Structure 1
Amino acid sequence: MHFLKLQLVAIGDSGFFFIFLFGIIIFLILSQVYNKKNKMLRKLKEHSFKKIPLCKENEYIKIKGKALSIAKPLISPIGKRECLYYKIQIEEKRSNGKSSSWRTIINEEKFQDFILESEGNKAIINTEISKKNKITYLNQDIEYTSGTWKDAPVFLEKLLQSHGRESTGFLGFNKSIRYKEGAIEIGEKITILGIGKWKESDHNFDRYSSKTLYVSGDSERKLIITDLSKITESKR
């Protein structure tokens, strides 16, 4: 015990500071390695882009191209744009003593099956599968805020109310809220990684074949969908 005390004295305050700093650095590195975006990027880098006609049955294939609609497009709730897939995240700033943090109060995700056109060929992307079988990472390119000196627009107030929320709190004072949206718009360039299966179809994408490539995912080989330009502009 006496030896341990001597060791602690030898380390001193500066030693503890460097140990603490080292721990913070390790935490930040691990956070980057294991966050959703980086896990997705690593998985995509494991595969090369492939042309749709060359896909084998049950192959895990990576393709890029333009997203096109099959049915009537969705209308995103914040950007009010026609799209095939959207995600919104609404956060409220909460205070706790001297500190404050953002807390997610609404997460909404809607989607539909759509066409991916790549180099003149087309495939159907099956998005209507279990949430655990897909990973979607969309660029949050629309953002609004409301707060003390800025009222929420009427359409955002209605959006909050549709989820049982409101932009004002005690005595009618505005809450600090931020609203984010990502969407796959019609004609947007995206990248897909998923399991390809050839099925009989009435879409007639190929004049020489009655089969269409359907791309989906399962618990082991997840369907990945992203509109990140870093991926869609890559040649590999």
Structure 2
Amino acid sequence: MIQLWLFLLMLLLVGGFALFRWYFSTDQKARRAMQAVPLLPAARVRDGQTARVIGEVLPGASVTAPLSGRPCAYWRVTVEEQRGGSKNRRWVTIVDEHEGVDFLLRDGDTKALVKTDFVQCVLEKDGKFSSGFLNDATPELDAFLRERGHSSQGLVFNKNMRYREGVVEPGEQVCVVGAGRWERDPDEEASAGTGYRDASMPTRLVLVAPEDGPLLLSDEASMLR
């Protein structure tokens, strides 16, 4: 009976620790921070106001996602390695990187330029790869690891590793939390020529990182409500 109680106590402690780590993880804190900011139509964001805006990513400049080769506005890659013995096996994150370019999104009739100088992103990781025993990493995965000082090979066998990639692509909906400011829309200004007076010149919203932290970016379904 005592052994059963000890076993249940151990399960409770392990489960509680896992829940604690999940709740206070960087991604979960970012999700809560995003949901805490009021959702506004892009057209209603005031200069200097930090707001949450949802819109469709427009085609434009792009980068190449390193694992899948997909053109995108932004990407994030995580690599985990399985470590420990049979009684203490766990996944350890050895790479967590993200990169992108400034991109445009449209919310209704309003365009917003998203500045990606300082970003924290939580992306849907739809690119999934693995390597391990009798499962060699692809040349692309190996090259990605080598550039960052890691290897998929152990002393004898391959290491058990999993690779996850998320991207922000044209046409998809994203949620952005940033500080807003308004500027003349250079694209509309160029096409309008001298037909507009200064007061009626088309404008666009610019979303940048707030003074107290990074711009937050996500394409997860739970963030698009």
Give 1:55's aligned residue: 45
Structure 1 position 78, deviation (Å)? 1.1
Overall identity of the aligned pairs, in %: 25
- Distance in 1 (alpha carbons) for counterparts of 2:87 and 2:36: 45
Contact 2:112 2:207 survives alignment (8 Å): yes
Give 1:188's aligned residue: 172
Any stretches of 5+ residues in structure 2 without a counterpart?
Answer: none
- TM-score between both structures, scaled by the size of structure 1: 0.78
Give 1:147's aligned residue: 132
- TM-score between both structures, scaled by the size of structure 2: 0.81
Any stretches of 5+ residues in structure 1 without a counterpart?
Answer: 1-11
Closer, same or farther in 2 for the Cα pair 1:200/1:82, shift >3 Å?
same
Give 1:117's aligned residue: 106
* 2:125 match: secondary structure: coil
- Distance in 1 (alpha carbons) for counterparts of 2:13 and 2:155: 41
Give 2:79's aligned residue: 90
Closer, same or farther in 2 for the Cα pair 1:35/1:112, shift >3 Å?
same
Superposition RMSD on alpha carbons, in Å?
A: 2.8
Larger radius of gyration: 1
Cα deviation digits, residues 116-174 of structure 1 (max 9, x gap): 11113201001113xxxx42101111111111111112222222233333322324x32
Q: How does 1:169-188 map to 2 (within 5 A)?
A: 169-171=154-156, 173-188=157-172
Closer, same or farther in 2 for the Cα pair 1:180/1:198, shift >3 Å?
same
- Distance in 2 (alpha carbons) for counterparts of 1:28 and 1:141: 24
The answer to which of 118-127 and 45-54 deviates more is: 45-54
Contact 1:67 1:115 survives alignment (8 Å): yes
Contact 1:93 1:100 survives alignment (8 Å): yes
Contact 1:139 1:227 survives alignment (8 Å): yes
Q: Give 2:77's aligned amino acid.
A: I
Give 2:94's aligned residue: 105
How many positions carry a matched residue from both structures? 216
